[in-house]
């Protein structure tokens, strides 16, 4: 996914996200890893339902920023067409398509 973003960076929105908008308990955080992450590297948001984006890469960066008192970090914002290419399991893909098709009714 990172390679795709690098080669298509002009087609993907790079935005600033508020770290407080993401709950502390949303993802499991390895506290020993936080110090080693680079918060200048953009996180990745993916559209998981129409107009709703989840942080799928960057939870440690978000947490490091929060602890350092930094309110915002950069994030790439991938819409459904951009990130669906990375569905690797057939059943996950089918469930995802069924969910999105249900939104069209």
What pLDDT digit, counting tens, does each position of 6-24 carry?
Answer: 898 899 999 999 998 876 6
What's residue 38's pLDDT?
94
Task: Please return the burial class of 64, using the count of CB atoms within 10 Å of its CB with bins 0-12, 13-18 and 19+.
Answer: buried
> Taking the complete model, does pTM exceed 0.75, yes or no?
yes
Lowest mean pLDDT among 4-13, 26-35, 45-54: 26-35
CATH topology of domain 2-103: 3.90.1530
Sorted by where each begins, the domain ranges of the chain are 2-103
């Amino acid at each position: 996914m990172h390679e795709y973003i690098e080669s298509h960076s002009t087609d993907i929105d790079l935005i600033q996200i508020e770290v407080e908008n993401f709950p502390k308990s949303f993802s499991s955080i390895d506290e020993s890893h936080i110090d080693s992450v680079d918060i200048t590297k953009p996180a990745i948001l993916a559209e998981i339902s129409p107009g709703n984006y989840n942080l799928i890469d960057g939870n440690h960066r978000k947490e490091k920023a929060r602890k350092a008192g930094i309110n915002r970090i950069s994030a790439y914002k991938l819409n459904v067409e951009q990130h669906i290419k990375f569905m690797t399991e057939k059943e996950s893909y089918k469930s995802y398509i069924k969910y999105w098709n249900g939104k069209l009714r």
